[in-house]
Amino acid sequence: MRAPRSRPLGVWFPTIQAGTGADVFTRRLCEGLHAKGIRAKITWLPHRAEYAPLTVAAHPAPDWATVVHVNTWMHPSFLPDALPVVATLHHSVHDPALRQSKGALRDLYHRHWIASVERRVMRRSQSVVAVSRFVAEMARESLCDVPIDVVYNGVDTSNFTPGVSVRDPAQPFRLLYVGSWIPRKGVDLLPHIMRELGDGFELHYTGGADAELDKARMPKNTLDLGKLDERRVAECMRSADALILPTRSEGFGLVAAEAMAAGLPVIATKVSSLPEIVSDGVSGFLCERDDVMAFAAAARTLARMPAIAATMSRAAVQQARELFPIELMVDRYIEVYSRLAPAP
């Protein structure tokens, strides 16, 4: 299916607003297309469109659109028949290793509703894109085996930049956790890691209301930053010494790429997509899943060996700028769109 050659490229994003990284991805891609002079528009749908699509009216595609770009969780009823579709796989929820940490009901929802929706969307789409090689392989194994391109998510390297201050060795070594307060992210490990580290280390984390029930379990060397917007996240990264990410699975790991752009060594789990993002021993440390002592040892190494921390910081910035600039992501998607709807 191809749009007429006489029409300029125009990209329409009918998108479920779920408050996740997929929302950030869509906004950044749309803004990047605008910066390239390409017409693009997001039509936000309520979150219930994901699980109760019949309660939400489908929007007609704009008459200028030549390509429709959706998340694979978008129900097929929202896809127009007359335009080519690009679908992006953002997640790793079908990873069997996650079943224990996400609960029985959520697992049933993913296996019996989301997986069915994704298979239909992938088969309907003219192009399927995954945000990491891990996600592409997981989709082939658990959903359907169709051709899948890999395009890494982009980081705004004008916002996520290294700090200029030199760490004061008399101050505690500051770890930063940014992410949802859910078991899949490994937040249950954070209090154990910080108790093991003890004095000389502190953790700043984005918990907010979601973390209230866990506040009593958090040791004194931790601080809840609440919910932060992108600007504040970048500021906190510039004042931290390392990012800690004890997650059990990531589709991409955007916060790790953002932290690297901000010059932070990343201490993360050696699972799913993270070995594609963080080079173990170069831009950070990758630890075995749920290994509290390994996370603590990595933090101690960075705190006690500032030369290693500085070398990792420089390598992290270089890798982020080479592999994850938002401009590269936008250009790759323009290539995908152009295969389906060539510019005149």
| Residue 264 CA, distance from chain mean position | 17
State yes or no: pLDDT of 3 exceeds 60: no
CB-based contact 237:254 (threshold 8 Å): no
Q: Residue ranges per domain, the chain?
A: 10-154+325-340, 173-323
pLDDT band at 6 (very low <50, low <70, confident <90, very high): low
Residues 77-87 have a mean pLDDT of 95
Looking at residue 47, its pLDDT comes to: 95
Q: Provide the CATH number for the domain formed by 173-323 in this structure.
A: 3.40.50.2000
Please name which of 18, 33, 165 lies closest in space to residue 86, comparing C-alpha atoms.
33
Express each pLDDT in 165-223 by its tens digit.
777 778 999 999 999 898 889 999 999 999 999 999 999 999 877 777 777 789 999 99
Mean pLDDT for all residues in the chain:
93
CA distance readout (Å), 306 to 183, 221, 237: 32, 21, 17
The more confidently predicted of residues 256 and 227 is 256
Most confident segment among 149-153, 228-232, 340-344:
149-153
Express each pLDDT in 42-56 by its tens digit.
999 999 999 999 999
Looking at residue 208, its pLDDT comes to: 77
Task: Tell me the pTM.
Answer: 0.91
Express each pLDDT in 288-331 by its tens digit.
999 999 999 999 999 999 999 999 999 999 999 999 999 999 99
Express each pLDDT in 103-143 by its tens digit.
888 889 999 999 999 999 999 999 999 999 999 999 999 99
State yes or no: pLDDT of 156 exceeds 70: yes
* 3-state SS, residue 89: strand
Looking at residue 342, its pLDDT comes to: 53
Pairing mode, strands 173-177 and 127-130: unpaired
Please name which of 274, 241, 237, 240 lies closest in space to residue 259, comparing C-alpha atoms.
237
Express each pLDDT in 84-110 by its tens digit.
999 999 998 898 888 877 788 888 999
Whether 10-154+325-340 and 173-323 share one fold: the answer is yes
The number of helix segments (H) and strand segments (E) in the chain equals 13, 12
Please state, in angstroms and rounded to a whole number, the distance separating the CA atoms of residues 262 and 255: 10
Residues 335-339 have a mean pLDDT of 95
Q: Decide if domain 10-154+325-340 falls under CATH 3.40.309.10.
A: no
Please state, in angstroms and rounded to a whole number, the distance separating the CA atoms of residues 8 and 343: 5
